[in-house]
Amino acid sequence: MKRMNVTLTPQQMMRLRRAVHRKQANFLAFPALCAKAACQRTRKCSGNPAVCIDDIAPDVPDNVCRAVDELLFGKFAGRPFEEMLPEGAKQIAACLEWREKVKASAATWDVIRRPKAKKPPRGLSTS
């Protein structure tokens, strides 16, 4: 693979860091745990991903974090998932297990958080 030396401005570095943090947050299913309604609704990071990384990431097991870092590195390097699977099968399995736990947890919270439907105002047709 050909390696290129690229010099980035501080603003480009900030945007790159934010994009990587957003990918990490999405890989780790943080939008399901995020306090921001837009993230929960769209099921992807819609705000400042550094906030979720700082707040939620300390609770993520180390092997899961390593798996996400390896997957992202492979993705940015253009490697297919199937090629990376044999190298980090245990870590990737831990990552997938983490995502399933988060989804299950979020599903139970959705039932609790979901507001009741409001009655329409009198005189307003509902059909």
Q: Is the dihedral of CA 53, 58, 60, 62 positive or negative?
A: positive
| Segment 58-92, tens digit of pLDDT | 888 888 888 888 888 888 788 887 887 777 778 77
Residue 112 predicted with pLDDT over 60? no
Residue 25 predicted with pLDDT over 50? yes
Which are the contacts of 82, defined by CB distance < 8 A and separation ≥ 6?
none
Average pLDDT, rounded, for the chain:
79
| Segment 7-24, tens digit of pLDDT | 889 998 898 888 888 888
Residue 98 predicted with pLDDT over 70? yes
pTM of the model as a whole: 0.65
